Amino acid sequence: MEKLKSALSNCYLSLIVLFMYAPIATLVVLSFNSGRSRAQWSGFTTDWYVAMWADETIMAALRNTVIIAFLSAFVATVLGTLAAIAINNMKPVSKNIIMSITNVPMLNADIVTGISLMLCFIAFRISLGFHTILMAHITFNLPYVILSVMPKVRQASKETYEAALDLGATPFQAFLTVVLPELMPGVTSGFMLAFTMSLDDFIITHFTRGAGIDTISTLVYSQVRKGISPTMYALSTVIFLTVFIVLMIGNYAPEWAKKRKRTV
């Protein structure tokens, strides 16, 4: 009975893995297919990777995506961390008001957030482009930062800070050396969360981008409408591998380091 149960659950796990990875595997395989056809294998090639590398639109989209993700996560983290500290000190009424506004972009459907930002930019005659995508991304990143930092702010101890002041540190020094390290886990996870949210966003970018600027998501969307080139498969493979390696390192490097220490 136990054996049957475990066989069944293994079977189930495998089915879900198949469902999740078969499509991705397909993209990887097709990226090495020399023909354009998706139904036939016509030989191995790495040409699509070369073509992808040489394709200025793809490379520009890749650059934009990463730069926007980094900048928006960074600005959101700075603004959000400072705000989290301050909000924690506020009277319940103002705290509630600010927190409910903060949660709006998370509760709202992306399409509504995107449209409201687009209308606002146009109403105030801000032409759509790189900077409007950036501002939009900062906006939807903020709640993630606040929500990650808030719990750490609540737990932070005041005594060490005061001790630092007593020992002659300026408040700014004390903030940098004592408070910030305590908040750091929340700050980093907020940054990472914001970074990935920005990387993956399509809908808000779709509405706030201007002509001639693309991120990976909007590029894929417009390519699909024109007919998919196999360079898109090469791009998918590269992105999947990057995500895989980054997450592996992020998740397991600390553990490996620990194990190594132990064996040493």
Partner 1 sequence: MRLDKVIGALDKAHRNRFVIGVASFVTVAGISAVAVGCGTTEKDIEELPTPVEDTLYVYNAGEYIDPEIIDMFEEETGINVVYDVFETLEEMYPVIEAGGVIYDCVCPSDYMIEKMIHNNLLQEVNYDNIPNIKYIGDDYLKMAAEFDPGNKYAVPYTWGTVGILYNTGMLDKLGIPYPTKWSDLWNPALKNEILMQDSVRDAFMVALKKNGYSCNTENPEELDAAMKDLIDQKPIVQAYVIDQVRDKMIGEEAAVGIIYSGEILYVQDELEGTDVNVEYAIPEEGTNLWIDAWVIPKNARNKEYAEQWINFLCRPDVAAKNFEYITYPTPNTGALELLDEEYLENKAVFPDTKELLRTSEFYHYLGPEGDALYNNRWKTVKSS
Partner 2 sequence: MKNNTSRYLATPYIIWIVGFIVIPLLTIVYYGFTDRNNTFTLNNIAQILVWENYRPLYRAMILSAVCTAICFLLAFPLTMILRSLKVGRSSLIVFVFILPMWMNSLLRVLAWQTLLERKGVINGILTALHLPEQHLINTTAAVLIGMVYDFLPFMILPLFNALMKIDDNTINAAYDLGASYWQTLTKIILPLSVPGIVSGVTMVFVPALTTFAISNMLGGGKIYLIGNVIEQEFMQDSDWNEGSGLSLVLMIFVIVSMLIVNHFDDKSDMRKGGVI
Count, residues near partner 2 per rule CB under 8 A: 78
Composition of the chain by helix, strand, coil, percent to 5: 80, 0, 20
Residue in 45, 160, 189, 196 binding partner 2, rule: CB under 8 A = 196
Other CB atoms within 10 A of residue 169 CB? 16
Give the nearest distance from C-beta 243 to partner 2 in angstroms.
5
Residue in 7, 12, 176, 177 binding partner 2, rule: CB under 8 A = 12
Question: What dihedral angle (degrees, nearest 10) is formed by the CA atoms of 122, 97, 138, 125?
Answer: 10
Q: How many CA atoms lie within 13 A of 198 on its CB side?
A: 34
Binding site for partner 1 (CB under 8 A): 36-38, 75, 78-79, 82, 85-86, 88-89, 121-122, 124-132, 134-135, 153-154, 156-158, 161-162, 165, 170-172, 174-175, 179, 210-212, 222, 224-228
- State the DSSP code for 90: S
Give the one entry of partner 1, partner 2, none that residue 115 binds, where binding means its C-beta sits below a cut-off of 5 to 8 angstroms depending on kind: partner 2
DSSP 102-146: HHHHHHS-HHHHHHHHHHHHHHTTPPPSHHHHHHHHHHHHHHHHH
Give the one entry of partner 2, partner 1, none that residue 33 binds, where binding means its C-beta sits below a cut-off of 5 to 8 angstroms depending on kind: none
Select 144 or 209, whichever has its Cβ closest to partner 1: 209
Residues 160, 174: Cα–Cα separation, whole Å: 9
Site string for partner 2, 104-143 (x = CB under 8 A): xx-xxxxxxx-xxxxxx--x-----------xx-xx--x-
**Which segment (21-29, 42-50, 51-59, 183-191) binds partner 2 by CB under 8 A?**
21-29
Give the nearest distance from C-beta 32 to partner 2 in angstroms.
14
* Residue 131, CA distances (Å) to 118, 213, 222, 257 in order: 12, 11, 21, 40
Select 19 or 124, whichever has its Cβ closest to partner 1: 124
Give the nearest distance from C-beta 233 to partner 2 in angstroms.
8
User: 208, 144, 152, 207: which is closest to 180 by C-alpha?
Assistant: 152
Q: How many CA atoms lie within 13 A of 59 on its CB side?
A: 8
Using CB under 8 A as the binding rule, the residues of this chain from 143 to 182 that contact partner 2 are none
Residue in 3, 43, 56, 89 binding partner 2, rule: CB under 8 A = 89
Element (H, E) at 45: none
Select 51 or 240, whichever has its Cβ closest to partner 1: 51
Using CB under 8 A as the binding rule, the residues of this chain from 41 to 80 that contact partner 2 are 79-80
Place of tokens 């687009």: 118
